[in-house]
Amino acid sequence: MNDQQTQRTPRSLIVTFYGAYGRGGTGSADGTAAPVPVAALIRLLGALGVDPPSVRSAVSRLKRRGLLVPARTATGAAAYGLSDDARQLLEDGDRRIFGRPAARLSDGWVLAVFSVPEEERHKRHLLRSRLARLGFGTAAPGVWIAPAQLYEETRHTLERLQLAPYVDLFTGEHAGFAPTADAVARWWDLDALAARHRAFLEEQEPVLARWSRRRSVPPEAAYRDYLLALDAWRQLPYADPGLPSPLLPEGWPGGRAAEVFGRLHATLQAAGARYAHEVTTGA
């Protein structure tokens, strides 16, 4: 099972749906606003092969995590909208998922240096896992590094999780002694990142090829393929921080993966939005 398949849990798909179609503003193809009726979520996830009990269970978990909040539609139907924290997460994600440019060497780096007291070591684990999910590499124990363009998102994340008191952030250049490309190969597992990009391409290039041969874009089929592609893709810009291309191995597949997702996005998102709008509004 490849990385994209392992990410396809009901909870992940619900987050992906809200990011694509379940909110107003940037990232919502047609301005569809929360709250989304529970019955609509069940139907929308059903189109992706998720059964109703799994949808309800995933919604409950997202509610406990503070990402979804219960609401009512204008007709009084049970529904769920996004919390403020969830909106911030999705807005931060937009910058990565929908066209974040690769970093330039001249941009420099952001360093996260942290120290957590032993009696709060659970926060040390949380810090490490969050920095890894943001795309940081490990320069040394307690010293994590990423392209400087991730500074604002890192600050938002650490503040939201109340981890800022344990961390100092610095920005600057790599001044030696090893060549920066050699250092980057130590700080990140580039082979593992390349394998994830290739797995995405293996799965999604045939999908793009099928749609390229079609003369029409049926909304339900577009919605299904777009949500699955987006759910697979949105993990990659977090694992891969967008390192400057001169520091990457020859034949790096990340650019091709981004191109394939971009073409699927351009082909399918708007038609998928029509289907999502019909289901969520009953139009």
For 146-162, the DSSP string reads EEGGGHHHHHHHHHHTT
Q: Are 55 and 10 in contact (CB under 8 A)?
A: yes
pLDDT for the residue numbered 6: 41
Task: Select from 57, 48, 51 the least CA-distant residue to 20.
Answer: 48
pLDDT for the residue numbered 229: 97
Q: Strand, helix or coil at 168?
A: strand
Helices 121-134 and 151-160, axial angle in degrees (round to 10): 150
Q: Are 97 and 234 in contact (CB under 8 A)?
A: yes
pLDDT for the residue numbered 282: 76
Q: Are 240 and 253 in contact (CB under 8 A)?
A: no
pLDDT for the residue numbered 30: 42
Task: Return all residues near 43 (Cβ < 8 A) that are at least 6 apart.
Answer: 279
pLDDT for the residue numbered 3: 36
Q: What is the pTM of this model?
A: 0.83
With 0-12 / 13-18 / 19 or more C-beta atoms within 10 angstroms meaning exposed / middle / buried, residue 110 is: buried
Structure tokens at 229: 């592609």
How far, CA to CA in Å, does 174 sit from each of 32, 85, 149, 233? Answer: 44, 34, 15, 30
pLDDT for the residue numbered 33: 60
Which residue stretches of the chain have pLDDT < 70?
1-7, 24-34, 100, 283
What is the distance between the alpha carbons of residues 47 and 222, in angstroms, rounded to a whole number?
11
DSSP string, 1-23: --HHHHT--HHHHHHHHHHHHSS
**Where does residue 205 fall: left (phi above 0), alpha (psi -120 to 50 degrees), or beta otherwise?**
alpha
Task: Select from 118, 108, 120, 112 the least CA-distant residue to 159.
Answer: 112
Task: Select from 77, 64, 78, 62 the least CA-distant residue to 18.
Answer: 62
pLDDT for the residue numbered 89: 82
pLDDT for the residue numbered 168: 92
Q: Are 200 and 207 in contact (CB under 8 A)?
A: no
pLDDT for the residue numbered 42: 95
